[in-house]
Each structure stands twice: as C-alpha cells, then as structure tokens.
C-alpha cells in the first residue's frame, strides 16, 4: 500500500525537484549576466524528468555511492549526487562582444515561467495529498 502511495506521488516530487534545479541554473545565468565569457546554461526539463522517472525516481540510481571497508558497514548514499545529468549550453541569439551568452530577456522569461510551473506543481501535489487524506478519513 505504501509503495503505491509513494509511486503515486513520485512524479510530482521529481518534477518539483527538477523545477528547483532549473530555477538555480536560471538564477545563476542572471547573476552572471555581466561576467565576461560566461556561457548561459539550461537543460531540457522533459528529458530530465523522463530520465529521472526511468531510473526509479527520487535519486535512487543517481546518488554517489559510498565505499565501505567492511561487510558490516551500513550502505549509504551521499547527498547531492542526483540532479541534472545533461546541463547544456544555451545557443545565443546575439552574443556580446565580451563572449557572454546570457540574454536577459530570455532568462527572465524562463525564470518566471519556471516559477509559475513550480507553483502549479506545488498546487497539484497539495490537492493530491488532500485527496488522499480525505480518502483516509472515516465516513461520517
């Protein structure tokens, strides 16, 4: 029963995690808009979400494995090992003379769009959890 419940929510959990990662990448691009030779980065959200769901979700395959020196050691995952695998360089419409490829209009639009989609994912996940909670309540 718990496995079905976790599977029911994994998609939205992965989507929120990837939206968070993309927000950090876009914020980094905006912060480096005036840095000479900085290359803007981004990733294909759909491809990364598909990859995360194929690998079992929740970073189960994506983490860093820790080395154990004894069979009696507890196996563990290092934090921060998951995340985006294919961070790409953005192709500029019109690169600047200093080699910076950040287009502030594009970055602001992508940042706002990602924030809106993050909020939508949060709303959907909240409504699903409320639905599950309502289903667990005894009938009156």
- Rounded to an integer, the average pLDDT of 109-138 is 93
pLDDT, averaged across the chain: 84
pLDDT value for 101: 94
Going by C-alpha positions, the residue among 118, 107, 112, 126 that lies closest to residue 28 is: 107
Residue 81 has pLDDT above 60, yes or no: no
Give the tens place of pLDDT for each residue, 11-54. 889 999 999 999 999 999 999 999 999 999 999 999 999 998 88
pLDDT value for 11: 87
CB 114, CB 27: distance < 8 Å: no
Residue 82 has pLDDT above 60, yes or no: no
What is d(CA 97, CA 64) in angstroms, rounded to the nearest whole number? 40
Q: What is the DSSP secondary-structure string of 105-123?
A: HHHHHHHHHHHHHHHHHHH
């Amino acid at each position: 029963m718990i496995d079905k419940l976790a599977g029911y929510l994994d998609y939205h959990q992965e989507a929120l995690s990837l939206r968070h990662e993309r927000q950090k990448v876009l914020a980094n691009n905006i912060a480096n808009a005036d840095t000479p030779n900085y290359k803007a980065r981004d990733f294909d959200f759909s491809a990364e979400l598909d990859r995360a769901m194929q690998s079992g979700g929740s970073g189960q395959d994506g983490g860093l494995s820790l080395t154990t020196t004894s069979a009696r050691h507890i196996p563990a995952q290092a934090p921060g090992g998951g995340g985006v695998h294919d961070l790409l360089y953005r192709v500029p419409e019109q690169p600047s003379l200093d080699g910076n490829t950040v287009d502030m209009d594009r970055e602001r639009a992508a940042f706002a769009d990602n924030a809106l989609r993050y909020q939508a994912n949060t709303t959907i996940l909240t409504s699903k959890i409320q639905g599950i909670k309502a289903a667990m309540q005894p009938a009156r």
